[in-house]
């Protein structure tokens, strides 16, 4: 049931999961702004993140004359007026290096005369790693090197210098740790995701699927093929906060290089060992930001439908098909075995959107060609408004006529801890005829949760409230077939939404209490629900499952301030020779509402003897595995 939802928000991809350390590597960045609903503007700023080390002897300009690629036509022209002139890259908040680690560096250059280009990472004026490239006169050429750092470094400067005066053009700088997973993904973040043992990965969003405008939507066909031919796109999240936060911050330059695109997402699913769940747009820009749409009778609407069909072919088609052939040419002749597709993200019905009819058309066209494909519907942005009620009325009416109309309905809830605790039974009385996907959920604390950098929103108590709710999801997993926390990743200092499951900077990352809750449920899953239902009311909640190996796994969540007792006799277990593993996630009194010491909130495992009763401490999650 437990999977992960990835959206490119909070610099979670470029600047995050993407192992690329260089910012605005292809000189295509746009500065984005918004004055309110439906009002967006972009301004080209190809030099964002780049500056001369000494502007008296070095001049940076942008050109698009005879580019390396027409899809990303802008490049840097650097004029060195004296020997040693150079320039540097912002690299988010600087370059982080690890001692004895290797880094792969590359760039494209064309020069008017032969010259030597030195690429270095500086600690002040000292070069920590450094390499000289002999750049020859002529057209675009790629230069590569692998360098090893002999020290740890935080917030170093990526610098490029010319030995002699002269003029050289540059494009597509790259610097990645050599240990990047698949040569693509930042190792510590990718491993944290793999350790969750997710069953699925929903991508690429989220609201980025729709875009603030249809032109800026996440169009999957732009994200495949050679990386240098994937055109830059500005992000819906670049303008999320601009009218709330008028000062120009990093968000206004938030974009998508598509160095990680749909092909790479499918590779990530293989690495994680999970099923892909891509989401496609339906001709609606983000309904929270605009009314822009493609009308149903507009010929362009057909292109959106064909995009969905072509995506399935790209994932699953033989090498003899157009899009399956592209996948093969990228290095993966075997199909990705995609089974599900999300039709729209968090859309809702109104006179402008006509979403119900859009879904109906998409579903029919997809199943006409791929009848086994599982279409994921949506109940809108919440579970309390008339948007939600009308969505379910529509889905039930259509499903009564067509059992293949929807596989599962995506429900979203960003709610306070009281809601999560009091709604443990939310799905107990749902009709079992249509499955549910708890696609985005998280505990939002009223006093600490904000849209900006609020690490203090990921408290242990918030995670405990989530755990209380997830016991209800697990008990109802005949109905709730998938669930994923959101958002997944956030770069510290670059966050537009809180809370988040994993926080990181350029050099380190940490798992929040919410991460540990998700992991404990994911790695302790079963195949059957045990007919064991002790009291699930007030402040104490449990669920029990039977695993494939015969183990019985009991999860108990105590959100109260007194100790609780679990009676195990109802599980009908024989005590002889049973091994019991207990994992406890708890926090000290001073850490319940704080993450100032996240290392104090992590699971503790032990082995104990089987007993008929088990104590559960106040404010704790206890997982009991009985073999």
Residues annotated as catalytic are: 346
Beta bridge partners of 138: 111
| 336: DSSP letter | -
Q: What is the DSSP string of 252-301?
A: GG-EE--SS-HHHHHHHHHHHT-EEEEEE--SB--TTT---B--TTSHHH
Q: Is the peptide bond before 480 cis (omega within 30 degrees of 0)?
A: no
Residues 427 and 499: beta-carbon distance below 8 Å: no
C-alpha neighbours within 13 Å on the C-beta side of residue 53: 22
Measure the CA–CA gap between 26 and 74, rounded to whole angstroms.
7
Beta bridge partners of 127: 122
Alpha carbon of 392 to those of 104, 160, 193: distances in Å?
Answer: 51, 57, 32
Q: Which of 514, 618, 614, 603 is nearest to 558 (CA)?
A: 618
Two structure tokens written together for 617: 């401490």
Measure the CA–CA gap between 70 and 137, rounded to whole angstroms.
22
- Strands laid side by side in the 408-415 sheet: 4-5, 200-203, 275-280, 340-343, 374-378, 408-415, 435-443, 480-485
Number of Cβ within 10 Å of residue 228's Cβ equals 16
Measure the CA–CA gap between 286 and 346, rounded to whole angstroms.
9
Phi, psi of 423 (to 5 degrees): -110, 30
Q: Which of 200, 222, 173, 243 is nearest to 4 (CA)?
A: 200
* Location of structure tokens 């610099």: 11
* Location of structure tokens 């502007």: 55
| 398: DSSP letter | H
Measured on CA atoms in the order 235, 237, 239, 242, is the torsion positive or negative?
Answer: negative
Residues 78 and 107: beta-carbon distance below 8 Å: no
Q: Provide the CA 497 distance to its chain's centre, in angstroms.
A: 13
Measure the CA–CA gap between 571 and 274, rounded to whole angstroms.
31
Q: How far apart are the first and last CA of the chain?
A: 22
Calculate the CA dihedral of residues 65, 69, 70, 74 and round it to 10 degrees. Answer: -50
CA angle 545, 549, 555 (to 5 degrees): 25
Q: What is the DSSP string of 85-105?
A: -EEEE-TTT-EEE-TT-EEEE
Residues 433 and 397: beta-carbon distance below 8 Å: no
Measure the CA–CA gap between 582 and 29, rounded to whole angstroms.
51
Q: Helices H, strands E: what count in the chain?
A: 9, 34
């Amino acid at each position: 049931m437990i999977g992960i939802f990835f959206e490119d928000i909070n610099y979670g991809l470029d600047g995050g999961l993407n192992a690329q350390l260089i910012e605005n590597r292809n000189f295509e960045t746009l500065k984005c702004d918004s004055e309110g609903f439906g009002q967006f503007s972009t301004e080209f700023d190809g030099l964002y993140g780049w500056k001369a080390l000494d502007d008296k002897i070095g001049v940076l300009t942008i050109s698009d004359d005879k580019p390396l690629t027409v899809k990303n036509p802008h490049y840097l022209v650097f004029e060195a007026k004296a020997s040693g002139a150079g320039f540097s890259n912002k690299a988010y908040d600087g370059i982080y290096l690890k001692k004895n680690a290797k880094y792969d560096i590359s760039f494209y250059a064309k020069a008017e005369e032969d010259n030597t280009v030195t690429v270095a990472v500086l600690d002040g004026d000292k070069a920590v790693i450094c390499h000289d490239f002999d750049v020859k006169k002529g057209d675009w050429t790629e230069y590569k090197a692998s360098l090893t750092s002999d020290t740890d470094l935080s917030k170093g400067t990526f610098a490029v210098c010319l030995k002699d005066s002269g003029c050289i053009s540059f494009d597509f700088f790259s610097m990645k740790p050599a240990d990047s997973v698949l040569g693509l993904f930042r190792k510590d973040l990718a491993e944290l995701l793999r350790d969750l043992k997710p069953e699925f990965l929903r991508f690429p969003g989220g609201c980025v699927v729709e875009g603030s405008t249809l032109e800026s939507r996440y169009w999957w066909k732009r994200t495949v093929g050679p990386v240098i031919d994937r055109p830059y796109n500005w992000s819906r999240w670049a303008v999320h906060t601009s009218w709330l936060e008028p000062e120009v911050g990093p968000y206004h330059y938030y974009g998508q290089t598509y160095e990680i695109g749909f092909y790479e997402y499918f590779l990530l699913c293989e690495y994680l060992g999970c099923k892909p769940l891509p989401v496609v747009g339906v001709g609606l820009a983000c309904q929270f930001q605009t009314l822009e749409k493609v009308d149903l009778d507009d010929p362009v609407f057909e292109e959106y439908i064909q995009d969905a069909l072509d995506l399935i072919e790209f994932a699953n088609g033989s090498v003899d098909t157009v899009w399956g052939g592209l996948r093969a040419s990228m290095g993966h002749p075997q199909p990705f075995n995609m089974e599900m597709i999300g039709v729209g993200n968090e859309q809702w019905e109104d006179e402008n959107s006509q979403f119900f009819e859009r879904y109906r058309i998409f579903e029919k066209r997809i199943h006409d060609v791929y009848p086994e494909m599982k279409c994921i519907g949506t109940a809108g942005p919440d579970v309390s408004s008339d948007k939600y009620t009308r969505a379910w009325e529509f889905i039930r009416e259509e499903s009564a006529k067509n059992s293949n109309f929807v596989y599962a309905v995506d429900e979203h809830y960003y709610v306070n801890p009281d809601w999560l605790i009091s709604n443990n039974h939310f799905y107990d009385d749902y009709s079992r005829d249509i499955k549910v996907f708890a696609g985005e959920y998280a505990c939002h604390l009223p006093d600490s949760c904000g849209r900006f950098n609020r690490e203090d929103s990921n408290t242990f108590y918030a995670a405990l409230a989530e755990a209380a709710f997830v016991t209800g999801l697990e008990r109802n997993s005949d109905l709730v077939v998938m669930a994923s926390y959101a958002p997944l990743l956030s770069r510290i200092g670059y966050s537009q939404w809180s809370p988040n499951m994993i926080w990181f900077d350029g050099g380190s990352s940490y798992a929040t209490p919410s991460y540990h809750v998700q992991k404990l449920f994911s790695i302790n899953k079963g195949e059957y629900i045990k007919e064991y239902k002790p009291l699930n009311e007030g402040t104490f909640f449990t669920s029990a499952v039977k695993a494939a190996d015969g183990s019985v796994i009991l999860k108990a969540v105590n959100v109260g301030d007194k100790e609780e007792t679990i009676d195990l006799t109802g599980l009908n277990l024989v005590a002889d020779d049973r091994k019991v593993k207990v994992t406890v996630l708890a926090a000290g009194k001073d850490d319940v509402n704080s993450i100032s010491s996240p290392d104090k909130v992590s699971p503790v495992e032990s082995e104990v003897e089987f007993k008929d009763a088990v104590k559960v401490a106040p404010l704790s999650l206890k997982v009991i595995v009985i073999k």
